[in-house]
Copies of this chain bind each other. A is one copy, B any other.
């Protein structure tokens, strides 16, 4: 919390802006969270962010300036829609395959929020279970950071791929798999199968015109992320929605969350409260 506030103050200072001249701050955070209250419910990959009032605390630390919090993927979707790969799209899904795996759904120009504003956690639609019914449904499946099992995140996100191999960086696992190391191949194959199921599900359930895939793993390993997703859509999704969708890489790189936070803060400060296209 202190590091976040320090970074914000350092940025303001670097830009020569005193805090009282800043009218709003946008803050991207992992979810699930409630963007209207700025409360982070839990964050599977960050210790201690449980029912944490991020918006209120950051506002206090920045002399009371208005802080608008939203999920990192919501900010990314806003930025990609405004100036990136989703320009003009009214029905799209932003997917990030990074440390974690998440997304944001935009349907008919509106961000899908749900009844308490936590909708969109596509990395936690379970895509696997143990078929051997003599065993527990979650047997042999890595436990997800959210506490469940079978989530696409638990099988395909960077942190989870690295953990499964016992290293700190997923890049090592991809490199080992490329050399044919058996355990790495198994982990990467499962990751691809999880992503394939996710992609087919997104197309069948949401019928988007566009799926934008960003995040460090997607950026560095498109052959293990975008390719299996595209292949699965072509081979396994219903034909009508499969023909209507394009799956493309994100355009804005690692700063996408910050860019989106700027747009979001401007829009929400204007009183629109929600983000419509």
Contact = CB atoms under 8 A, between A and B. Distances in A.
Contact of A244 (B90, B105, B115, B125): B115
Interface of A: 32, 34, 41-42, 90-91, 105, 107-108, 110, 112-122, 124-131, 133, 137, 140-141, 146-150, 185-186, 189-190, 193-194, 196-197, 200-201, 204-209, 235-241, 244-245
A206 B112 contact: yes
A148 B200 contact: yes
A116 B241 contact: yes
A96 to B, nearest CB: 15
A contact face: mostly helix, strand, loop, or mixed = loop
B238 A41 contact: yes
Contacts of A137: 193, 196
Complex copy number for this chain: 2
A124 B238 contact: yes
Contacts of A115: 90-91, 207-209, 244-245
A90 B117 CA distance: 13
Given A114-B208, A129-B127, A205-B122, A238 B42 contact: yes
Nearest to A121: B204
Contacts of A34: 240
B108 A41 contact: no
A191 to B, nearest CB: 10
Contacts of A189: 133
Contact of A197 (B126, B131, B241): B126
The 5 lowest CB-CB distance pairs between A and B, nearest first, are: A114-B207, A125-B201, A148-B236, A126-B197, A115-B209
15 contacts: A42-B240, A107-B114, A108-B110, A112-B112, A115-B209, A116-B240, A116-B241, A118-B244, A122-B204, A125-B125, A125-B201, A126-B200, A128-B128, A137-B193, A148-B200
